[in-house]
Structure 1
Amino acid sequence: MKKVNVMLSGILMFMSVGVFAQNTTDKLPATAQEFISQHFSSATIKEVQENSSWQIWEDEKYEVRFANGIEVDFDKNGNVLEIDGHKNVTIPVAALPSEIVSYLQSNYPDAKVVSWDKQDKGQEVELMDGTELEFDQDGSFLKID
């Protein structure tokens, strides 16, 4: 039994080494801090995680979780990669790239956005009603998914 406890302790310690959590943006790159200040200044930060380089998290280096359920992921340079409003919490449209904002204002003026994701080959926006819109890297509309 003692060997099992030692092994479990070692595994848990090893797993916890890769993620460093805090509740301030002090360790984030300036670009990420500015983005949060500009688009989420009134939101309360619940947790900021820095994912270590040895873990496999695509390009996500930092995860910022707000008390209202919104999560924002940044790369190592502080560029935003994803904004997700868990539990159908809407995200501020102004936080999206300007080309996508223009498209939404013209074609979905009353829609509520619950997530935005920047992928290798494009961007995706999910609306509260479940509609998923795909855009290219430049923000030009491609299709409804």
Structure 2
Amino acid sequence: MKKIILTGFIALSLLLTITSCDSDDDNNESVINVTDLPKSADTFVTTYFPNTTYALIKKQNVADNDGSIYDVKLSNNFEIDFDINGNWIDIDGNHQAVPVELVPGKIQTYVTTNYPSQFVTSIDNERTTIEVELSNNIDLVFDLQGNFLRIDN
């Protein structure tokens, strides 16, 4: 009798442990096809990353704090987040240079002048700032007009 109760208790404990570890994130996003991506996001990718293909596209049911809904991973390891309208929110090159055309002119000038041997590897459009990471892992913060504010630690 003790063995039956102990076995039942262990089985119930395992079931509760497995259930409690289940992530709610699985219900918050789904994998979608490129046809479900806003046309402006697809146009952005084909314009600035013409020699890549989509590796994975996810759509979130609830927007992140930065407004991103679509998470796109490309075959060249770039990751781009888009809002509901297909506007890019952030671009992560995973240690590769973000296309210069995507870095606002004033910010690109600041980077070229102050960090001539570095390049931008990621850029985030936040609500009140633009943050860029350089190839030497320094994070720079600019206001929305492209004026340098600080180095972020």
Q: Which residue of 2 aligns with 1:35?
A: 44
The alignment status of 1:50 with 2:59, answered yes or no, reads: yes
Query: Distance between the aligned counterparts of 1:100 and 1:65, measured in 2?
Result: 25
The alignment status of 1:20 with 2:30, answered yes or no, reads: yes
Q: Which residue of 2 aligns with 1:117?
A: 124
Query: Identity of aligned pairs, percent?
Result: 30
How much has 1:82 moved relative to structure 2? Answer: 0.9
CA 1:93/1:140 → structure 2, altered by over 3 Å: closer, same or farther? same
Q: State the secondary structure of the residue aligned to 1:104.
A: helix
Query: Distance between the aligned counterparts of 1:35 and 1:135, measured in 2?
Result: 23
Decide whether the 8 Å contact of 2:41 with 2:86 is kept in 1: yes
Q: Which residue of 2 aligns with 1:66?
A: 74
How much has 1:123 moved relative to structure 2? Answer: 0.8
Query: Distance between the aligned counterparts of 1:17 and 1:114, measured in 2?
Result: 31
Decide whether the 8 Å contact of 1:111 with 1:128 is kept in 2: yes
Larger radius of gyration: 2
Query: Distance between the aligned counterparts of 1:84 and 1:66, measured in 2?
Result: 11
Query: Distance between the aligned counterparts of 1:135 and 1:119, measured in 2?
Result: 10
How much has 1:17 moved relative to structure 2? Answer: 3.4
Q: 1:99 aligns with which of 106, 113, 117?
A: 106
Q: State the secondary structure of the residue aligned to 1:26.
A: helix
Q: Which residue of 1 aligns with 2:87?
A: 79
Q: Cα deviations across residues 21-62 of structure 1 (Å, max 9, x unaligned)?
A: 13x432222221222122111122210110012xx6221100
Question: TM-score, normalization: structure 2?
Answer: 0.74
How much has 1:66 moved relative to structure 2? Answer: 1.4
Query: Distance between the aligned counterparts of 2:50 and 2:15, measured in 1?
Result: 44
Consecutive unaligned residues in structure 2, runs of 5 or more? 1-10
Decide whether the 8 Å contact of 1:91 with 1:114 is kept in 2: yes
